[in-house]
Structure 1
Amino acid sequence: MKKILSVLTLVLLTVGILGGCAKENKVLKVSATSAPHAKMLEYIKDDLAKQGITLELKVIDDYNIHNRSLHEKEVDANFFQHIPYMEAQMAEFGYELETLAKVHIEPMGIYSEKITSLDELKEGAVIALPNDPSNESRALALLHRNGVIELNDVNNQAATVLDIKNNPKNITFQEMDAAALPMVLQDVDCAVINTNFALQKGLSPTKDALAIEDADSPYVNILTIRKGDGNREDLKALAEALTSEKMKKFIEDNYNGEIVPVF
């Protein structure tokens, strides 16, 4: 009888220990675009695992899905956007989101397979732009600062092609999903492309772009969460890992100035 009780006690203790471990092993779901965001998150997976957090990545290159998934609690956080984009989505869809950490800047660039300088743009040239409000205004501001067009207000973060004051070369603008821009590069004279999508095509902002934003760009990429979740320990641990010295070194060693840490 004593032997049976001992075995039973051991079983119960084992179940208790395993149950405790399972409880501590928190699954944290985060959506991200594939490059560089998902790669950065993959890099810190093991660090989070040591803290009892299993990082489950959902890699999605369609900007429109991330904030909806976060709002609907399909994920706990996302890492793909800058503050103006988040604010525009909140205004349009009523999402209640907030910034947990500011991580890096990805300088937007102007690329071409047909010309080597913006001075070579001809009358009636075609330039492709991202069609989401915040990135379109950002692209137009970059074109303004490089003398291609003149905007009514270069600081207007909701500017569209309708806000172009002067278009001396009668440029035609094609607005499309940001992820599609690298695929049409051969069909247009230029395209203004977000760095994450440029990197996927093997383009280097510092080597291949005709012009890029400088380090003072207001478009800092952020770790985004639902409003009110800022005190969650697992999300705090994620934010700390993304803004650590280890991550800073990873960015500097792997992206050669194409991505600039801001922490």
Structure 2
Amino acid sequence: MKRMIPLVSALALMAGAATAADIKVGVSPGEHAEIMEEVAKIAEPMGLNIDVVEFSDYVVPNQALADGDIEANSFQHEPYLDNQIRDRGFALVPIATTITTPMGVYSDKITAMDDFPEGGSMGIPNDPTNGGRALLVLQQLGLIKLAEGTGLVPTVLDVVENPRDMRFRELDAAQLPRSLADLDAALINTNYAIASGLNPKEDSIAMESADNPYVNIIVVREGDEGQDWVQPLIDAYHSPEIKAFIEDKYHGTVLTSW
């Protein structure tokens, strides 16, 4: 079962005692929610009941996990988790890898990156990790050049070459699909693209290379790695049925890590 948790009330979610057979897993909209719903079906015959809890942004799922409102989450890549741990002090650890979802460039105004206008507006996520990822994609596409040594989290201040005088609009990642009418283009995470009705394979005008460090993960609280439900959760996610579901549904826009 999937329940929508509005941002304003997510932290008020009542935790309820989890047992080895009853857990809540937090996800973000799009493919993470869709896949976890299928994982729940696979896990049930194993004796594991998964309540899929959908959050509306990238910030609350880690806070909810740290607060004990959910037992695990599945929505983020490791660079994002590392940044959250560093900035917010969460005692959270990854227990398994899941999928990779290359970030795409989308536009309501142009059909190819060569058509991006001089002085045009480019939307990017406003969180440090995904914003940095977007800038790295733009560098990969040859549209900007970043200062050396910025690693995986460059900022717009690290742009040293910008031949098209691109103007960066930093917005909440979930808001970017709804903002395309006001932008010349935007870098959008695949989960928010899918949740908004965009087809990454058909609607994107450029895609991040599949060879990237942003593999997604299942995360639990530090100390919960040995809980009885952990291995069944991993086994259900890494099952042949889930691999087939992902391949059949997403046609190469979502890649499995196992």
- Superposed pair shares fold, TM > 0.5: yes
Counterparts of 1:168 and 1:251, CA distance in 2: 39
Instruction: Confirm whether residue 79 of structure 1 aligns to residue 58 of structure 2.
Output: no
1:126 maps to a residue whose letter is: S
Q: Deviations over 1:15-34 (max 9, x none)?
A: xxxxxxxx977210111012
> Shift in Å at residue 242 of structure 1?
0.8
Counterparts of 1:128 and 1:216, CA distance in 2: 23
SS of aligned partner of 1:141: helix
- Structure 2 residue corresponding to 1:167, chosen from 162, 166, 187: 162
> Shift in Å at residue 51 of structure 1?
2.4
Q: Deviations over 1:77-132 (max 9, x none)?
A: 00100000000000000011111111110010011110111111111100000011
TM-score (norm 1): 0.88
Q: Deviations over 1:36-85 (max 9, x none)?
A: 11111111223322222221111012111010111111110001000000
Taking structure 1 as reference, are residues 245 and 237 closer, same or farther at Cα in structure 2, changes over 3 Å only?
same
Aligned position for 1:20:
none
Aligned position for 2:14:
none
Which shifted more, 155-164 or 129-138? 155-164
SS of aligned partner of 2:90: coil
- Matched residue count: 241
Aligned position for 1:33:
28
Contact 1:128 1:181 in 2 (8 A): yes
Aligned position for 1:123:
118
Which shifted more, 227-236 or 170-179? 227-236
> Shift in Å at residue 154 of structure 1?
7.7
- Structure 2 residue corresponding to 1:254, chosen from 232, 242, 249: 249
Taking structure 1 as reference, are residues 262 and 24 closer, same or farther at Cα in structure 2, changes over 3 Å only?
closer
1:131 maps to a residue whose letter is: N
Which shifted more, 75-84 or 210-219? 210-219
Counterparts of 1:200 and 1:51, CA distance in 2: 29
2:238 maps to a residue whose letter is: T
- Structure 2 residue corresponding to 1:179, chosen from 146, 149, 174: 174
Q: Which runs of 5+ in 2 are unaligned?
A: 1-17
| Superposition map of 1:141-156 within 5 A | 141-153=136-148, 156=151
Identity %: 38
Counterparts of 1:81 and 1:27, CA distance in 2: 22
Q: Deviations over 1:161-201 (max 9, x none)?
A: 00001111111111011000000011100000000011112
- Moved beyond 6 Å, runs of 4+: none
- Structure 2 residue corresponding to 1:188, chosen from 183, 190, 214: 183
Contact 1:144 1:154 in 2 (8 A): no
TM-score (norm 2): 0.90
Q: Which runs of 5+ in 1 are unaligned?
A: 1-22
